[in-house]
Chains A and B, each alone.
Chain A
Amino acid sequence: DQQVKQNSPSLSVQEGRISILNCDYTNSMFDYFLWYKKYPAEGPTFLISISSIKDKNEDGRFTVFLNKSAKHLSLHIVPSQPGDSAVYFCAASADTSWGKLQFGAGTQVVVTP
């Protein structure tokens, strides 16, 4: 049962433009959401997170938006840079799960010059 879904397996964007990655979830108990970035041959790296009490969190070029009623979150990267080319995973956690993260399948982002 896939509780976190990333329906776009890949995204191609031009350097300098905005990248928008989407993530949907089904479990209403999730209250903390994270985005991880993964380069080939490396482990995932934490990027940004958001608690369910917020609808937006910003960190430099990265902004995560949360729409609880739609059970949807998105990651915006502005402006996109070639170094952003990676696989991005959305993850979610419920308050009682103490770190048991549910991951989406990932979106491969390619930033072209």
Chain B
Amino acid sequence: DSGVTQTPKHLITATGQRVTLRCSPRSGDLSVYWYQQSLDQGLQFLIQYYNGEERAKGNILERFSAQQFPDLHSELNLSSLELGDSALYFCASSGPGGLAGPNAYNEQFFGPGTRLTVL
């Protein structure tokens, strides 16, 4: 158990709909990351938040957005869903704080993922 929780575990929805995925980081971790894993693909970095603020962005579509709340949990919002958005979405957390340097953020702890199916 990594200490990172994600809900829901599975989500089935229709094209054009909007969904929200939720993530709670490990206790004490300030950074939250979202990744997408499509079929037979590696994990694609979407976005990172650090202590409530957006820190880095990857190839995240404009239809997708995220936020990190004061209690450090994060939500990933996916709207106008398309068939191609069907994937596993992982949340990860890391970060003992900024003093440890950039590489301290690399050893990320992943949640079990949310499997999104768009029909």
Binding between chains A and B: yes
Number of interface residues of A (CB under 8 A): 29
CB-based contact A99/B94 at 8 Å: yes
Q: Is A4 an interface residue (CB 8 A)?
A: yes
Q: How far is the CB of B5 from chain A (nearest CB, A)?
A: 10
CB-based contact B110/A44 at 8 Å: yes
CA distance A41 to B9 in the complex (A): 10
- Stretch of A13-21, A45-53, A66-74, A77-85 contacting B (4+ beta carbons < 8 Å): A45-53
* Interface residues on chain B, size class: 20 to 34
Return the contact of A103 from the options B42, B95, B103 (Cβ within 8 A): B42
Q: How far is the CB of A107 from chain B (nearest CB, A)?
A: 10
CB-based contact B48/A99 at 8 Å: yes
Collect the chain B residues with CB atoms within 8 Å of residue A100's CB: 33, 45, 48, 56, 58
CA distance A98 to B4 in the complex (A): 19
CB-based contact B102/A96 at 8 Å: yes
CB-based contact A43/B92 at 8 Å: yes
Q: Type the 1/0 row for B18-31, where 1 means its CB is closer than 8 Å to any CB of A.
A: 00000000000001
Collect the chain A residues with CB atoms within 8 Å of residue B48's CB: 98-100
Q: How far is the CB of A38 from chain B (nearest CB, A)?
A: 8
- A93-B106, A95-B102, A99-B94 known; A41 and B112 CB under 8 Å? yes
CB-based contact B95/A106 at 8 Å: no
| A window 46-62: CB within 8 A of B | 46, 49, 51
CB-based contact A32/B43 at 8 Å: no
Return the contact of A34 from the options B40, B102, B106 (Cβ within 8 A): B106
Collect the chain A residues with CB atoms within 8 Å of residue B43's CB: 44, 89, 91, 101, 103
> Can you show 12 pairs from A to B with CB atoms below 8 A apart?
A6-B42, A36-B110, A43-B4, A43-B90, A43-B110, A46-B109, A89-B42, A99-B55, A102-B45, A103-B42, A103-B44, A106-B42
